[in-house]
Structure 1
Amino acid sequence: MSGTRAERQVRAWRPAVAGITEVLRARFTDHAYPVHTHDTWDLMLLDDGMVDFALDRRRHDATDVGRVVLLPPGVPHDGRTVSPLGFRKRVIYLSTAVLPERLAGPAVDGPILGDAALHQRVHGLYAALRDERDDGPEQCEPGDRGSGHTLEAESRLAFVRERLLAHLDGHRVRAPGREGDRLAARLRELLDARIGDGLTLDEATAILHAHPTHLIRSFSRAYGLPPHTYLTGRRIDRARRLLLAGERPVDVATAVGFYDQAHLNRHFTRHLGVSPARYARGGRRR
């Protein structure tokens, strides 16, 4: 590339969420992927610039940053920059446990999805996965401690999956009925009983015999907030009581289910406007 220095920035990690094998953020000013395949679904947001790719020997031009690109497993594809400015992208790699491989055909026919709601859901999922990466360990297994973030990411993944199934398989969403209030109450009881240990979405759906998105919608309709937000709030409430009782923030963090003190600090400050240590000092002075 004349007059432009080639730049390549890549950051990847493995989140603690079942069904997601890898998350990647990248910026390229001059790069071409050779033809290759994956054993995962590649869910991509193009954040800036232009990228050209071929899927099953058909070329596509993904130039609209508001669109979502979905590449199916086992199908050859490539990718390349097409302008001196290059492109920025975020990719979430989904296993075939999230989307069955039998849906590869519709994805090959239409890999570029101009769906604003889907774009928003994928953006929210990426933010939850990045949140977990920034606050938690480098790598951890699904269901590890700190599943408040895991519950959020699992919930967001369920809604991404629902939207993708609508595109690939004609899936229709059922609105919660009166049974939704009973489901919501039972889920709240589970969350209250598992404040410290946390609760994954898979565990909740198995115990309550409910579909993930139906369960989340029922809870949100009944209580005005999603389950992961409710759980974080309950943890903050418990942390306040322990801090005022003289417990150290580092001990409080793990006692109420956060990864570590930094994780507690960020959520506590977001809720109350002060750090846990400052909150505790104020209580001692009074």
Structure 2
Amino acid sequence: MRAWRPRVPGVREVLHARMTDHAYPAHAHADWALMLVDEGAVSYDLGGRARIADRSRATLLPPGVAHDGRAASRADGFRKRVAYLDASWLSATLAGAVVDRPDRDDLVAETRMLHRALATPGAELAAEGMLVELSGRFAASPGAAIASVRDPALALRLRDLLEDRLVDGVPLAEAGRLLGAHPAHLSRSFSAAFGIPPHRYVTGRRVDLARRLLLGGHPPGEVAAAAGFHDQAHLTRHFRRVLGTTPARFAGSGARATRA
């Protein structure tokens, strides 16, 4: 079992666990619990109904509603990931609808992306943006499209704020307070205006900054911190994704061109 508190606004705790014989007694949480099952299956009771959670669905448990849990097959046990999200993540009025349908097979991919981001140092802004989008998806009827939000003036103000705080970063929750807008409205307005979510914009701009620093002769380890990346591995991962090469090779190509 591993548990930690990521630096993502609204995330109380993340738990990864492998269980075989343990059975959770009936209990309730103060937070929303967003669970993925990676191996095996979990048998649980919620709202007076017996249910099964497995790899084919994402499971959301509402605050204040009792549930239990056990391996559907003791021979196999189960492995799960759970993100405990602040009670304000979704409206309390949705608790009844979630009890009626806690398991969502249409949101598995998005939930897996969120859990990967929560477990990746340096991906805090990405995780926060995914949480914003998932809140809208869980609040909507299954299969319903989330309407695009157009507010170009607000999108430009957010872009300016992201540029001003490019290296240190600014969480969407803080940006919302500074700009007087809900984080979901901020994120969707930005995506509508610029074609990418805020975290991808920030990553691309940080890669731009890293390129300039590398060509200026700074070593990759120093560039990672100066450009706002968590560490050199974080820089290398995104640099390779954007440019198809590593920071060291990119810097080397600049040095060779100078000598030539």
User: Residue 140 of structure 2 aligns to a residue in which SS?
Assistant: helix
Q: Which amino acid aligns with 1:15?
A: P
Give 1:121 shift.
2.6
Q: Give me the identity figure in percent.
A: 52
Select 1:69's aligned residue among 50, 59, 65.
59
Contact 1:62/1:112 (8 A) holds in 2: no
SS for the counterpart of 2:89 is: coil
Distance (whole Å) between structure 2 residues aligned to residue 44 and residue 126 of structure 1: 9
- Report the Cα offset of residue 173 of structure 1: 5.4
**Which of the numbers 231, 234, 243 marks the counterpart of 2:202?**
231
3-state SS in 1 of match to 2:9: coil
Query: Does the alignment pair 1:31 with 2:22?
Result: yes
Paired residue type of 2:138: L
| SS in structure 2 of the partner of residue 250 of structure 1 | helix
Amino acid at match of 2:124: T
Q: Does 1:182 align with 2:173?
A: no
Indicate if the aligned counterparts of 2:58 and 2:104 stay in contact, CA closer than 8 A.
yes
SS in 2 for 1:126: helix
The question of 1:218 aligning with 2:189 is answered yes
CA 1:242–1:213: 2 relative to 1, 3 Å: same
* Residue 188 of structure 1, CA deviation: 1.6
Match of 1:125 in 2: 114
Residue pair 1:175, 1:214 contacting (<8 A) in 2 also: no
Contact persistence 1:25–1:90 (CA under 8 A)? yes
Structure 1 residues 102 and 222, CA gap change in structure 2 (3 angstroms): closer
| Aligned positions, number | 255
CA drift at 1:241: 0.7
Q: What TM-score do you get using the length of structure 2 for normalisation?
A: 0.86
3-state DSSP of counterpart to 1:23? strand
Task: Find out whether 1:113 has 2:103 as its counterpart.
Answer: yes
Shift of 1:62: 1.3
Moved more, 99-108 or 73-82: 99-108
Match in the other structure for 1:80: 70
Structure 1 residues 245, 172: CA separation in 2 closer, same or farther (over 3 Å shift)?
A: closer
Contact 1:219–1:225 (CA under 8 A) maintained in structure 2: yes
Provide the aligned C-alpha RMSD in A.
2.5
* AA at the equivalent of 2:115: Y
Which stretch has the larger CA shift, 237-246 or 184-193? 184-193
**1:162 matched residue in structure 2:** 136
Matched, 1:278 2:249: yes
- What secondary structure does 2:124 align onto? helix
1:101 Cα deviation after fit: 5.0
1:41 and 1:151 map into 2 onto residues whose CA distance is 20
Question: Which stretch shifts more, 245-254 or 23-32?
Answer: 23-32
Residues of 1 paired with 2:190 and 2:32: CA distance? Answer: 29
Change (3 A) 1:173 1:210: farther
Q: Which residue of 2 aligns with 1:92?
A: 83
For residue 103 of structure 1, report the CA deviation from its aligned partner. Answer: 4.7
Contact 1:250–1:260 (8 Å) recurs in 2: yes
Normalised TM-score (structure 1): 0.79
- What stretches of structure 1 of length at least 5 have no aligned partner? 1-9, 133-145
8 Å CA contact 1:27–1:88 kept in 2: the answer is yes
In 1: Cα distance, 2:96 partner to 2:49 partner: 16
Alpha-carbon distance in 2 for matches of 1:172, 1:67: 19
Taking the aligned partners of 1:254 and 1:114, their CA distance within structure 2 comes to 39
Q: Secondary structure at the match of 2:119?
A: helix
> Are the counterparts in 1 of residues 52 and 72 from structure 2 also a CA contact under 8 Å?
no
